[in-house]
Structure 1
Amino acid sequence: MIEWAVSNAWVVWLALFLLLAIIEMISLDLYFIMLGVGALGGVAVALLGGPFWLQVVVFCITALAMIVLVRPIAIRHLRKDPEALRTNVDRLIGEDALVLEPTNRMNGRAKIGGETWSVRTDDEVALQPGTYGSVVRIEGATAYITRRTRMTGLD
């Protein structure tokens, strides 16, 4: 059995890669897939006829390089730009709001993203029609806005 494993080490490395890939699918930590890439390095050396000790060295160096160099970049790209991941009404937070009716803490209407919304202000300052506000939060069907100092165009 040991003689077969040594003479067919590429099969052992490939099985190790598959096992690590399955564990990665469960954990989603990006550690096990980096180790799996190291195992693929072992497969390559085994197929080229390299000795077992060289296969292990290539596995270790490749896996370590992947963990140290590639994993941080992959994590940064996976967690990049959470603003783009916002959905539904969360997308409207920070958007401009064109005030359509006098708006205060109790009531008002504004155009946000091409739609007319019920709005209220978060502060004591009332906003007059034609002025711009910025959406700070949304509760139910009501958007809360504050005065915007910079004017930007809306549809």
Structure 2
Amino acid sequence: MTDMLPDSQWLWWLGAALALGAIEMLTLDLMFLMLAIGALVAVLAAAIGVPFTAQVVVFALSALLLLLFVRPSLRRRLDESIPHAPTNAAGLIGQEARVAEPVTELAGTVKLAGEIWTARPAWGGETFAVGEVVRVAEIDGATARIERVNRADTL
């Protein structure tokens, strides 16, 4: 049994590389990918007959170098290639809403994205009548700050 261990060390490294690659697919952080590539380098070291302790050193050094020098530039490229669309409350800014109850500085609601939101004017002193179409200028907690829609802007 112990005679087989030196002959199959590359298989263990290959298994580790596959496991680390699978974890990377779940995290998408590129850290486990660098570790998987380090394990593949250790596969090569094991295949040419490097002793096990040296394989571990090869794995650790290659993974460390990849993490320090390759991963940051890949992360930057990945972050630049992904469009950053506003989500949740930030995604509602700029959306049109319809006034459900008259909106003043003290009270009012709008129907926004199929839900009723508390609303206040974005600019002091404005009031909005029921049925008026407005635009969300900002979200302040659970309150939509609204402004008038200039129909010339939408054409």
Contact kept, 8 Å, 2:90 with 2:139, in 1: the verdict is: no
In the alignment, the residues of structure 2 paired with residue 99 and residue 126 of structure 1 have an alpha-carbon distance, to the nearest angstrom, of: 16
Aligned to 2:126, what secondary structure does the other structure show?
coil
Asked if 1:84 corresponds to 2:85, the answer is: yes
Q: Extract unaligned runs of 5+ from structure 2.
A: none
For residue 135 of structure 1, what is the amino acid of its counterpart? Answer: E
Contact kept, 8 Å, 1:137 with 1:145, in 2: the verdict is: no
- For normalisation by structure 1, the TM-score amounts to 0.54
Aligned to 2:5, what secondary structure does the other structure show?
helix
Q: What pairs up with 1:84-123 in 2 under 5 angstroms?
A: 84=85, 86-87=87-88, 90-92=90-92, 94-95=93-94, 97=96, 104-105=104-105, 106-107=107-108, 119-123=119-123
- For normalisation by structure 2, the TM-score amounts to 0.54
Could you tell me how far 1:38 is from its partner in structure 2?
Answer: 0.6
Could you tell me how far 1:42 is from its partner in structure 2?
Answer: 1.3
RMSD of the TM alignment (CA)?
A: 4.9
Aligned to 2:124, what secondary structure does the other structure show?
coil
Asked if 1:136 corresponds to 2:139, the answer is: yes
Could you tell me how far 1:10 is from its partner in structure 2?
Answer: 1.0
Q: What pairs up with 1:33-44 in 2 under 5 angstroms?
A: 33-44=33-44
1:32-52 CA-to-partner distances (Å, cap 9, x unmatched) read: 4432221111113434x2523
In the alignment, the residues of structure 2 paired with residue 25 and residue 54 of structure 1 have an alpha-carbon distance, to the nearest angstrom, of: 28
In the alignment, the residues of structure 2 paired with residue 146 and residue 23 of structure 1 have an alpha-carbon distance, to the nearest angstrom, of: 47
Q: Structure 1 residues 91 and 132 mapped into 2: Cα distance closer, same or farther (>3 Å)?
A: closer
Give percent identity, aligned residues only. Answer: 30
For residue 38 of structure 1, what is the amino acid of its counterpart? Answer: G
